[in-house]
Chains A and B, each alone.
Chain A
Amino acid sequence: MRRIALSIFAAATGLFLSVSAHAQEKTLTVYTYESFVSDWGPGPKVKEAFEKTCACKVDFVGVADGVALLTRLKLEDENTDADIALGLDTNLISEAKATGLFEPHGLDISAVKVPGNYSDDTFIPYDYGHFAVVYDTKVMKNPPRSLKELVDGDPSQKIAIEDPRTSTPGLGLLLWMKSVYGDQAPEAWAKLKNRVLTVTPGWSEAYGLFTKGEVPMVFSYTTSPAYHMVEEKTDRYQAASFSEGHYIQIEVGGMLKGSSDKDLARQFLKFMISPEFQDVIPTTNWMMPAAETSEPLPEAFGKLVQPKKTFLMGSDEIAKNRQAWIDEWLTAMSRN
Chain B
Amino acid sequence: MLTHAERRRGIACGLTSFLGIALFAGAPIAVLLSWDVESTQTRLFTAYTWRILRFTLWQAVLSTTLSIAFAIPVALALARRPHFPGRLWIVRLMALPMGLPVLIGALGLIGIWGRQGIINSLLLKLGLEQPVSIYGLSGILLAHVFFNMPLAARLLLAALERLPAEYWLLSAGLGMKPLSVFRFIEWPAVQRVIPGIAGLIFMLCATSFTLVLVLGGGPAATTLEVAIYQSLRFDFDPPRAIALAFLQIGMTALILLVVITLFPALDDAGATAGRSTRRFDGRTLPALFWDVLVILLATAFLILPLASIVTAGLGANLWSLVTSAAFLRAARTSFAIALAAGLLTILVSLAIVAAREAVADMKRPGRTAKGFSALLGGTSYLVLLVPPVVLGTGWFLMLRPLGDVARFAPALVAAINALMALPFVMRVLAPAIETHRKRTGRLSASLGISGLSRLGRIDLPVLAKPLLTAFSFAMALSLGDLGAVALFGSSDLTTLPWLVYSRLSSYRTNDADGLALILGIICLGLAMLGTAGQREAKHG
Residues of A that sit less than 8 Å from B by CB: 4, 7-8, 10-12, 14-18, 20, 34, 38, 61-62, 64, 68, 71, 74-77, 79, 156, 163, 165-166, 193, 196-202, 204-205, 208-209, 212-215, 323, 326-327, 329-331, 333-336
A79, A156, A213, most chain B CB atoms within 10 A: A79
User: B410 at the A/B interface (Cβ < 8 Å)?
Assistant: yes
Cβ contact of A11, chosen from B133, B235, B336, B405, cutoff 8 A: B336
CB-defined interface of B399-418 with A at 8 Å, one 1/0 digit per residue? Answer: 01001111111110011000
Contacts of B285 in A (CB 8 A): none
User: B343 at the A/B interface (Cβ < 8 Å)?
Assistant: yes
Question: What are 28 sample pairs from A and B whose C-beta atoms fall under 8 A apart?
Answer: A4-B335, A4-B339, A7-B336, A7-B410, A8-B343, A11-B410, A11-B414, A12-B344, A15-B411, A16-B408, A18-B410, A18-B492, A18-B493, A62-B491, A165-B234, A201-B234, A202-B505, A205-B506, A212-B116, A212-B507, A213-B116, A214-B116, A323-B235, A327-B46, A331-B51, A334-B51, A336-B51, A336-B220
Contacts of A14 in B (CB 8 A): 411, 415
A197 to B493, CA, bound (A): 31
A196 pairs with B218, CB closer than 8 A: yes
Beta-carbon nearest neighbor of A74 in chain B: B236
Assuming A7-B336, A214-B114, is B218 touching A76 (CB within 8 A)? no
Beta-carbon nearest neighbor of A166 in chain B: B234
A156 to B332, CA, bound (A): 45
A10 to B51, CA, bound (A): 43
Beta-carbon nearest neighbor of A163 in chain B: B234
Contacts of A200 in B (CB 8 A): 505
Cβ contact of B220, chosen from A20, A193, A214, cutoff 8 A: A193
Contacts of B230 in A (CB 8 A): 165
Contacts of B233 in A (CB 8 A): 68, 71
A8 to B406, CA, bound (A): 17
A197 pairs with B337, CB closer than 8 A: no
A11 pairs with B340, CB closer than 8 A: yes
Known: A204-B507, A205-B506, A335-B51. 14 other contacts (CB 8 A): A7-B340, A12-B347, A15-B411, A17-B407, A18-B410, A156-B130, A165-B230, A193-B220, A202-B506, A208-B506, A334-B47, A334-B220, A335-B220, A336-B220
A16 pairs with B411, CB closer than 8 A: yes
Contacts of A208 in B (CB 8 A): 506-507
Beta-carbon nearest neighbor of B50 in chain A: A334
Beta-carbon nearest neighbor of B137 in chain A: A336
User: B531 at the A/B interface (Cβ < 8 Å)?
Assistant: no
Contacts of A20 in B (CB 8 A): 407, 492
A5 to B130, CA, bound (A): 54
B381 to chain A, nearest CB (A): 22
A193 to B218, CA, bound (A): 9
CB-defined interface of B98-123 with A at 8 Å, one 1/0 digit per residue? Answer: 00000000000000001110000000
B219 pairs with A199, CB closer than 8 A: yes
A99 to chain B, nearest CB (A): 10
Contacts of A202 in B (CB 8 A): 505-506
Contacts of A193 in B (CB 8 A): 218, 220
Assuming A14-B411, A196-B218, A198-B218, is B505 touching A334 (CB within 8 A)? no
A156 to B129, CA, bound (A): 10
Residues of B that sit less than 8 Å from A by CB: 46-48, 51-52, 55, 114-116, 129-130, 133, 135-136, 217-220, 222, 230, 233-237, 332, 335-337, 339-340, 343-344, 347, 400, 403-411, 414-415, 491-493, 505-507
B235 pairs with A165, CB closer than 8 A: yes
Assuming A71-B235, A213-B116, A327-B46, is B218 touching A199 (CB within 8 A)? yes
B506 pairs with A204, CB closer than 8 A: yes
A215 to B220, CA, bound (A): 18
Contacts of A333 in B (CB 8 A): 218-220
B243 to chain A, nearest CB (A): 13
A205 pairs with B51, CB closer than 8 A: no
A331 to B340, CA, bound (A): 42
A334 pairs with B116, CB closer than 8 A: no
A198 pairs with B135, CB closer than 8 A: yes
A331 pairs with B47, CB closer than 8 A: yes
Secondary structure call for the B interface: helix
Beta-carbon nearest neighbor of A10 in chain B: B411
A75, A196, A209, A329, most chain B CB atoms within 10 A: A75
Contacts of A75 in B (CB 8 A): 236, 400, 405
B343 pairs with A12, CB closer than 8 A: yes
A77 to B230, CA, bound (A): 18
A197 pairs with B407, CB closer than 8 A: no
A329 to B219, CA, bound (A): 9
Assuming A11-B414, A331-B48, A334-B52, is B505 touching A197 (CB within 8 A)? no
Contacts of B411 in A (CB 8 A): 10-11, 14-16
Contacts of A156 in B (CB 8 A): 129-130
Contacts of A76 in B (CB 8 A): 404
A7, A38, A77, most chain B CB atoms within 10 A: A7
A62 to B490, CA, bound (A): 9
Beta-carbon nearest neighbor of B343 in chain A: A12
A12 pairs with B218, CB closer than 8 A: no
B217 pairs with A205, CB closer than 8 A: no
Contacts of B408 in A (CB 8 A): 16-17
Beta-carbon nearest neighbor of A21 in chain B: B492
A11 to B495, CA, bound (A): 15
B219, B222, B237, most chain A CB atoms within 10 A: B219
A62 to B136, CA, bound (A): 27
Contacts of A71 in B (CB 8 A): 233-236
Contacts of B332 in A (CB 8 A): 4
Contacts of B51 in A (CB 8 A): 331, 334-336
Beta-carbon nearest neighbor of B233 in chain A: A71
A17 to B404, CA, bound (A): 11
Cβ contact of A12, chosen from B130, B400, B414, cutoff 8 A: B414
Assuming A34-B506, A335-B51, is B340 touching A199 (CB within 8 A)? no
Cβ contact of B491, chosen from A61, A79, A213, cutoff 8 A: A61
Beta-carbon nearest neighbor of B401 in chain A: A77
Cβ contact of B48, chosen from A4, A38, A197, A334, cutoff 8 A: A334
B217 pairs with A198, CB closer than 8 A: yes
Contacts of B506 in A (CB 8 A): 34, 38, 202, 204-205, 208
Contacts of B237 in A (CB 8 A): 323
Contacts of A8 in B (CB 8 A): 336, 339-340, 343
A334 to B116, CA, bound (A): 27
Contacts of B48 in A (CB 8 A): 327, 330-331, 334
A1 to chain B, nearest CB (A): 11
Contacts of A163 in B (CB 8 A): 218, 234
B222 pairs with A334, CB closer than 8 A: yes
A256 to chain B, nearest CB (A): 15
Beta-carbon nearest neighbor of B414 in chain A: A11
A174 to B406, CA, bound (A): 32
Contacts of B335 in A (CB 8 A): 4
A78 to chain B, nearest CB (A): 9
Beta-carbon nearest neighbor of A211 in chain B: B507
Assuming A12-B340, A12-B343, A327-B48, is B217 touching A334 (CB within 8 A)? no
Beta-carbon nearest neighbor of A201 in chain B: B505
A16 pairs with B492, CB closer than 8 A: no
Contacts of B491 in A (CB 8 A): 61-62
Cβ contact of A197, chosen from B129, B133, B414, cutoff 8 A: B133
Contacts of A17 in B (CB 8 A): 407-408
A8 to B405, CA, bound (A): 19
A213 pairs with B115, CB closer than 8 A: yes
